[in-house]
Structure formats: C-alpha cells, structure tokens
Amino acid sequence: MTAAHAHAANDPRPATGARLVVDALEREGVSVVFGYPGGAIMPVYDALPGSKLTHILVRHEQAAAFAADAWARVTGEVGVCIATSGPGATNLVTGIANAFMDSVPMVAITGQTASHLLGTDAFQETDIFGVTLPIVKHSFIIRDAADIPTVFAEAFALARSGRPGPVLVDLPKDVAQASVPFPAAEPDRASVHPFRPDPETISAAEAMIAQAKKPVLYFGGGVPIAGAEEALRAFFQRTGIPAVATLKALGALPTWWPGYLGMLGMHGTRAANMAVDGCDLLICVGARFDDRATGRLDSFAPRAKVIHIDGDPAEISKLRHADLAMAGDIRAILDALDPDTVGIGDWRAECARNAVRWAMRYDAPGSGVYAPALLKAISEAAGDDFIAACDVGQHQMWVAQHCRFARPQAHLTSGGLGAMGYGVPAGFGAALADPSAKVFVVTGDGSIMMNIQELATIRRYRIPVKIVLLDNSQLGMVRQWQELFYAENFSEVDLSDNPDFAEVARSFGIEAFTLDRRADVPAAVERLMTTSGPILCHVRIDPRENVWPLVPPGKSNAEMMEP
C-alpha cells in the first residue's frame, strides 16, 4: 500500500469515485495537474483539497492540455489535464491531438453527464469518447466507481508504454459521486520488455556501415522518447558519422558539436540537406520520414541504403523501404553497434567544410532587430539551462535554426500538429516541471493571441517565464508562402491592428518592455536574464523578413530556395 493510498484509506470522509480518482493519481506519482472546473467534473474538484496534488487553474482548457504536454516532455512523466463535460472536454481536443502527433504521454480526464442521461442530449453532453478516438492511444468511459483504480492504472501504463501518447478517461458525474470502498490492494502493473535485435542483425548493420563511404546519421523524436540521448551521443562520438536532426530531436546531440550539421528538411540547413542528398547510407534512428523532413520522398537520399532503427515497428518501411530493420529498444541497439568507420575521413571532412561554407549569417543590414541573431544571443546567454517553448510560424523555424540546445527537453514545440497557441501554456508547464531552468516562450503576434488569457495564469502563480514576442504585424509564415507561391496575393494576413503587447502584459500585472532597435539587443537580453519573475519582451521586427533557406513544396531537399 502506498503512502497516498494509506492516507486515503484512513481518511474519515466517505469514499467516493472522485476520491478514488485522486488516490489513483497520487499512486501514479502525479504531483501537478492542469485543469478548469465545471459541473460534471465538480466531484473531482471537491476531492482535490487536502490531497498531495497541486492543481494549476488555467483560463482555457486548451491551455491545460498544452501545459500537461510540456510537463510530460520536460519530466518524462505522464502529464495530466482535467476538464468538465461538453465544451470543457472539446476544448481539450487540440491539445490531445498535439500529444498524439508528437507521442507525448498524457492522461486527459473529462467529466461527463450522469450515466442515465447519456444519449439524451443532456446539458453539456458530448460524446468525447467518439470525438477523440482517432487522436488517443485508448479511451475509457467508467461505468462503475469500483473500476476506477484499475482503469487509471491501465490508462497510465498505456500512456507511457511503447510509443507514448494520450489516453482519455471519461467520468460520468454519478460515477464520481458514487460511494465505494477503497480497494484493499493496488492494481497489477504489467511489465514491458522491449525487443532487442539478435546478434546477427547487429553484425549485419555493422557490416553495412563499414562498407559505406558517405553515411549519415538521421535521428528524430523517437530518441528522446526512448531516453536514448546518451546512447546516441556515444554512438556518434565513436563512429564520427555526420549527423542531422528532425525538428523534434533538436538537442539530442548538443547543437554546437562538430559533425552535427543541423536540422534537415523544409527549413533545414543546406549542410544537412546536401549531406543527406549525397549520402550512400542513411542510418535512421527514431525518425519516421515525415514530409517536412524529406521534401519530395522519392528524391530523398536517392542513392542511399537505409538502416531504420525505431521503437515502433509500425514506422519501419512505412514510407521508405528499410534495407535493414531494427525495431526495439533504441538504447540497447545503439549501445550494441560498434562499426568500423575508418573509411569515412574524406566524407567527414567534406561535410565539415560545407558546414562552414553554408553557416548561418547574422550580419543582416539595417538597424532593426534581426530575430535570428536575437534568439541565438538569448539561447547562448541562458546556456545549458535554456528551454524554449515555441509557438508555430516563422519564429518557430528561427528558433530551430539558430538556438543553442543542450538537451531535447529544451526544445518544446508543436511538431506534428503545428498548433498556434502552444507556446505560453507550454512555457509555464515547462517552468513548473523544471524550476531551475531558464524558460523562454518564443511566440509571434498571431500565435500569442490564441491563448493570451494565460498571462493571467502566469501572473497568479508568479511563474518566471520570459516571453519573447516577435511582432511583424503579419501572419508571417502564411504571408511568406503567399509572397513566394501565390503571386503576392496577400490574403487575410494583415495584423497591423495589433494591440500594444507590452501594455497588454502590464495590464495582466506582468513586467514588459518593447525592443525595436538592434543596438538595444544586449541590454534587452541582460534584462530578460536578470529579471526574477515573468517578463514580456515585445520585439518589433521587419514584416518583410522571411525564413531561409526554404524547400519549395513538391521539390527535393536539394532544391533549396535562398534570398
């Protein structure tokens, strides 16, 4: 019996389904939950006071899901969000989909109308079970309060095991209110043992790598999901194989290490994309050949054989045929591989020359703030404690291209779903998950308006996030595509009627200032670093600034556009 369970069992108050929910969360080691109360979930909120759970009251349920997502990415634990039925539950959907697309472990708890009213179009009744079926690993509707301990144990096991993801638990109000004895024993937990490739497969992979003259290590978000960062770093160091990362894997190799060529794909570095284009062997580790990484798939690494290593067997050969498949424990596989790579010296030197030749430049003309240089300076000043919680748009790509990342948990972004509004709630979720970190929200004037009400959450809990708001008075990425691919037919991208965001932040009780001159960047970075509480830096940038390089739609990654 856990301490939490013993405490609950000895509590003189009557046991209810709602109290079993709280007990189950404590038993799973949950310390923080994000949510918003309402009628159908009220019994659970009645059971929260006096528990060991810290509840963070957000101002919109979508923010609860995004904050739980970031908490999970930073800690490696299951994030938990709570909402009531109807609109509360549907407001979680975008955050649940985000966790599903990016394989983030989450348990979403929703209240539901009483069991006898299900199917009657009762007040705030929504079939959230059906709504979320395509975007969860599993869903539960609890019909009997006695099942709560078992259901929650299974929900958490499903969320964190295999390829992680969100699990929904829908709780009718009468089930939450039902009187029920505390269970005498904890639910059983199944052990999961990832498959490990046999020695023959390891030998075959080592032979392929030894025969290659131009290998590339292409790694993705499956590496941090598997906790395989150290194994990846050791493999990279003992082989010297040039490496490229997907958006979700940034930081799995420290971004300043020699031999690491940067992010590949639509807005990847030229050094990374050209290395992949010229390689004869692609060692894919925890990546899934996503369209944003590959460009036109039939021209991606066109002369290369493929070794595909992944924790999810369903990803292997799904989009690109693997000449050698290795599904299972990524850490064990990488630790076992020790190939001879003495023949790749010329290739390594060529990639190193190209990294210098095509390095990003920061000498943009003019006196205005150059966003890539500002973001680079912030990440370098924050050092290994830096965490960036990004929204979606041009600023998202600038962070990926220019920021220094020491670990994958330092780069939080909506990768697969591309959800605007992620940044602010993800930022305070990350700051609560790692109070020692220097957490920066990097957002745009379009994105911040999606969840700007969460400035109130930051103010209430005095969460020391630093918000860098890049304001070009445009929906910048949409405008860039309209400029390049839609004959400059600028349709519905003008945000020139934005408020003064510094004034908005101050009205929420958050310190804020405006930055619009390059000469003031050093002082602005210093102010962000030394302010102890939350602060917003409203950065006005040139609305004509674009993200470069760019792979046009339908083109090979080797056909990158540049200014």
Mean pLDDT of 49-72: 98
For residue range 99-133, list pLDDT tens digits in order. Answer: 999 999 999 999 999 988 777 887 888 999 999 99
Q: Does the pLDDT value for residue 56 go beyond 90?
A: yes
For residue range 263-313, list pLDDT tens digits in order. Answer: 999 999 999 999 999 999 999 999 999 999 999 999 999 999 999 999 999
Contact call for residues 175 and 17 (beta carbons, < 8 A): yes
- pLDDT given for residue 181 in this prediction: 82
Q: Does the pLDDT value for residue 338 go beyond 90?
A: yes
- pLDDT given for residue 14 in this prediction: 62
Classify strands 106-112 and 535-540 as parallel, antiparallel or unpaired. unpaired
- List Cβ neighbours of 57 (8 Å cut-off, separation of 6 or more): 35, 36, 457, 460
Q: How far apart are CA 176 and CA 112, in angstroms?
A: 10
Nearest to 539 by CA among 511, 518, 563: 518
Q: Does the pLDDT value for residue 98 go beyond 50?
A: yes
371-540 topology per CATH: Rossmann fold (3.40.50)
- pLDDT given for residue 262 in this prediction: 97
Mean pLDDT of 405-412: 97
> DSSP of 252-306, one letter per residue?
SS-TTSTTEEEE-STT--HHHHHHHHH-SEEEEES----HHHHBSGGGSSTT-EE
Fold matches, 3-177 and 371-540: yes
The whole-model pTM stands at: 0.94
Mean pLDDT of 37-48: 97
- pLDDT given for residue 196 in this prediction: 72
Q: How far apart are CA 187 and CA 152, in angstroms?
A: 9
- List Cβ neighbours of 498 (8 Å cut-off, separation of 6 or more): 445, 471, 473
- pLDDT given for residue 177 in this prediction: 96
Contact call for residues 110 and 168 (beta carbons, < 8 A): yes
Q: Does the pLDDT value for residue 31 go beyond 80?
A: yes
β-pair partners for 438: 386
Distance of CA 132 to the CA centre of its chain: 19
Q: pLDDT-derived band of residue 230, with 50, 70 and 90 as boundaries?
A: very high
For residue range 352-374, list pLDDT tens digits in order. Answer: 999 999 999 999 999 999 999 99
CATH number of 199-357: 3.40.50.1220
Mean pLDDT of 50-55: 96
Pinpoint the alpha helices (H) of 434-537.
455-461, 476-485, 501-507, 521-530
Nearest to 27 by CA among 68, 72, 73, 78: 78
Would you list the domain boundaries of the chain?
Answer: 3-177, 199-357, 371-540
Classify strands 260-263 and 243-245 as parallel, antiparallel or unpaired. parallel
Active site residues: 61, 123-124, 173, 477
Secondary structure (H, E, C), 534-549: CEEEEEECCCCCCCCC
> Does an H or E element contain 187, and which?
none
Average per-residue pLDDT in the chain? 94
- pLDDT given for residue 195 in this prediction: 66
Q: How far apart are CA 528 and CA 172, in angstroms?
A: 46
Q: Does the pLDDT value for residue 4 go beyond 50?
A: no
- pLDDT given for residue 117 in this prediction: 73
Domain 3-177 bears CATH identifier 3.90.1580.10: no
Residue length of the chain? 563
How many CA atoms within 13 Å lie on the side-chain side of 398? 27
Side by side, which strands form the sheet with 281-285? Answer: 260-263, 243-245, 215-219, 281-285, 305-310, 324-327
- Helices 270-278 and 345-357: crossing angle in degrees, nearest 10, is 150
Q: Does the pLDDT value for residue 156 go beyond 50?
A: yes
Q: How far apart are CA 499 and CA 101, in angstroms?
A: 33
Residue reference for tokens 């295999």: 162
Q: Does the pLDDT value for residue 3 go beyond 80?
A: no
393: left (phi over 0), alpha (psi -120 to 50) or beta: left
Q: Does the pLDDT value for residue 1 go beyond 50?
A: no
